[in-house]
Amino acid sequence: MKKTFTCIICPNGCSLDVDYDGQNIIVKGNLCKRGEIYAKEEIIAPKRTISSSVRLIDGDMEIVSVRLSSPVPKSMIFPIMEVIKKTRVTAPVHIGDVLIHDVLSTGADVIATRNAERRS
């Protein structure tokens, strides 16, 4: 099987030519090692990260922005969004704080990406 991907790891957006015979995966066109890893994952089990916001109680704004600490299988994106939607956290929150640990057993944490102070 031959496939062409656009690598999404960084803005270079390398065009990857992937050759997969059921056992070996050969990747060409990548400028760096991350492209090879991405292409292999894309064949076997595609992964993505997502960003969203979590409801903030007593904070300077209604929400605090969050992202996943590492990519998760694509099929887990919408189930994770449901968990994020139900989550409430109380200010203050700081960048890097783990708001949901190991979300849905994916191994990824939901972490805060903004410093949110208490409402004054």
Partner 1 sequence: MFEKKDVVIIGGGPAGLSAATALYRLGVKDIVILERESKLGGILRQCIHDGFGLQRFGKSLSGPEYAQVFIDEVIENHIEYHTDATVVTLAPDRRIEAVTPEGVLSYSARAVVLAMGCKERSRGSIMIPGERPSGVFTAGSAQAYMNIYNRMPGRNVVILGSGDIGLIMARRLTLEGAHVAAVFEIQDHPNGLERNIVQCLNDYDIPLYLKHTVTDIHGNSRLEGVTVSEVDDSCVPIEGTGKIYPCDTLILSVGLRPDNGLLKDAGIEIDPRTNGAIVNEHLMTSIPGIFSSGNVLHVHDLVDFVSLESEALAESVSRFISGTLSHDRDISVKCGSGIGHTVPQRVSSGDGFSLSLRVSSVMNDVVIKVRQGERDILQRKMRKANPAEMIRLDINSGTVLPSEDLEVLVE
Residues 29-48 that bind partner 1 (CB under 8 A): 48
Binding mask 88-117 for partner 1 (x = CB under 8 A): -------x-----------------xxx--
In this structure, what is the dihedral angle of CA atoms 104, 106, 108, 110, given to the nearest 10 degrees?
-20
Amino acid at 28: K
Which tokens sit at 66?
A: 């969050």
Across the strands, what pairs with 16?
5
x/- contact string, 55-74, with partner 1 (CB under 8 A)?
Answer: x-----xxx-xxx------x
77 lies in the binding site for partner 1 (CB under 8 A): yes
